[in-house]
Each structure stands twice: as C-alpha cells, then as structure tokens.
C-alpha cells in the first residue's frame, strides 16, 4: 500500500477479497492517494444494507477526495441485477422479474469448483454450509440492487441455499464427482413487495450444468431474453472491471453502484 503514493494511479483495479470487513483499509488507502477504485468484491457491489457504517465511511472519504468507489463484475454486477434492470427500461408495466443463471462449474477454475463443493458428499456439504463462508457470494446484493433499480425501495429479500446433486459421474482437472454426490450449489433469492413475490433470482453453479443466462419479465410488453452459453465469468469479470474503469471518472464522487455508472463499453 505504501507504493500507491509513488505510483499516483488515477484508478485502482481492486481484486483482493469478497468481504467488506477485509477491504475497508485497502479502499481507504486508495482513496487516500486520490485514486478512483473499481473493485470485484462481491459485497461491495451493494454494501448499504449489509454494513451501513462501512458504506457511510467509504462514501464520506471518497466524496472528500473527489473520487468514485464502485463494485462491479458479472454476478453480482451484471447478469442478475443490472441486465434485468436495463431490459425493464423498455417495459411499460413490470409485474414480475425472474432471472436464472446456470453455470457449468466444470469449465471454471479450481477455486470456484471448491467454493461450490464439487465432489463432496451431501453430509460433508451440510457440515461446510453450517460453518459459513460457503457458496456464491453476492446473491442478496444482486436482489437488493434489482429491487432498487425497479423502484421497489421497501422490498424484502429472502435467500435459500442447498446442494445440487450429480445425476452422473463427472471428472474435472480439479474434482471427482460421483453420481449422488454434490456437483455444486443451487441458490435462490426472492424479492417480496408487500408480501407479494415480485422477483426471483435462481443460480445453479455445478459441474455438468448447462451454461445459460435467462431473464423473464412479466408485464406489458412481456420479455424473455436468453444468453445461450451464458456469460463466462472468469473472463467477463475482468472485462467488467476494466471497462468500468474507463468511465468511472464521469460519475459523482462517492460510493456508487453500477446502476449509476455510465454504460461501461461506450466511448472505447
């Protein structure tokens, strides 16, 4: 961190950790040298409900320094939050939004396969689940951002999480998955407004799962958009961070979200 002052960067691409309590000092160091920060930290994508104190401190410091701090990525950051909000911009009346993302974890890096429990028995999965810090991070953040983007400011978000069991044997360079054992995770978030379900987010991340992203908007006009082959997170996350860095200086200083940053790919 001491080298930051010598480098005097305009923008820092921050990719160190997923959790807010591990990155506050790092963000403050970047802000302290007058650098914008574009981070892939999942919890930073929508930190306001998870840690209001953290959010206030980062926002105040960034405003004072005249810089922007923002979390971005693919999920959270695009597929299950920003993407459906943008699509809803051409829907006159939105009744409900259902977003699903299916990822073949067998094509992804080893740490991700470990994160989703590929190769564990169901009993071992439940033990790790009880210990915490397991599975996909950022589902609630995506749901909160989607709700605000849709104008549902008083929405309640619930989350469920469990194993996705393999129906056949699979072998990857990083994991051996037997039929009946855990291939990955199945995770959902539900957005409730006045007790009514207005949105669902469903994530399956498992060895052998099909790759697909899908957004279904019930309303006038209705809309269904399918990304065949999905959005490959390992490379797309890098693109999201780099492309956002091109535009981050055009936003008002402070702690911002991807709902506020100009379209990242324009002006290249």
Q: What percent of the chain has a predicted confidence (pLDDT) above 70? A: 97
What CATH number should be reported for the domain whose range is 3-74+236-256? Answer: 3.40.50.720
Which CB contacts under 8 angstroms, 24+ apart, belong to 127-136?
Answer: 129/161, 135/161, 135/185, 135/187, 136/75, 136/185, 136/187, 136/203, 136/205
Entry pTM? 0.93
User: Tens of pLDDT along 65-104?
Assistant: 999 999 999 999 999 999 999 999 999 999 999 999 999 9
What CATH number should be reported for the domain whose range is 92-230? Answer: 3.30.360
The tokens of 199 are what?
Answer: 């949105």
Q: What is the mean pLDDT of residues 248-265?
A: 90
User: Tens of pLDDT along 175-195?
Assistant: 999 999 999 999 999 999 999
Residue ranges of the domains in the chain?
Answer: 3-74+236-256, 92-230
CATH fold match for the domains 3-74+236-256 and 92-230:
no
């Amino acid at each position: 961190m001491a080298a930051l002052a010598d480098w005097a960067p305009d923008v820092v691409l921050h990719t160190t950790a997923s959790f807010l309590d591990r990155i506050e000092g790092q963000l403050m160091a970047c802000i302290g040298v007058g650098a914008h920060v574009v981070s892939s930290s999942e919890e930073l994508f929508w930190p306001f409900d998870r840690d209001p104190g953290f959010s206030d401190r980062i926002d105040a410091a960034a405003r004072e320094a005249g810089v922007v701090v923002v979390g971005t990525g693919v999920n959270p950051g695009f597929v299950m939050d920003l993407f459906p909000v943008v699509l809803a911009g051409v829907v006159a009346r939105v009744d409900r939004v259902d977003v699903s993302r299916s990822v073949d974890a067998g094509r992804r890096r080893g740490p991700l396969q470990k994160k989703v429990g590929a190769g564990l028995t169901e009993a071992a999965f439940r033990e790790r689940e009880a210990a915490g810090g397991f599975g996909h991070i950022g589902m609630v953040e995506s749901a909160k951002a989607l709700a605000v983007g849709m104008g549902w400011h008083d929405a309640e978000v619930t989350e469920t999480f469990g194993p996705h069991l393999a129906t056949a044997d699979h072998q990857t360079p990083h994991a051996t998955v037997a039929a009946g054992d855990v291939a990955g995770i199945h995770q959902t978030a539900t957005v409730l407004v006045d007790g009514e379900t207005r949105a669902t987010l469903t994530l399956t991340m498992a060895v052998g799962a099909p790759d697909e992203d899908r957004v279904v908007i019930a309303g006038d006009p209705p809309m269904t958009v399918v990304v065949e082959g999905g959005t490959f997170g390992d490379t797309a996350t890098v693109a999201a961070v780099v492309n956002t860095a091109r535009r981050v200086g055009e936003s008002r200083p402070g702690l911002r979200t991807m709902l506020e940053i100009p379209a990242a790919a324009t002006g290249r």
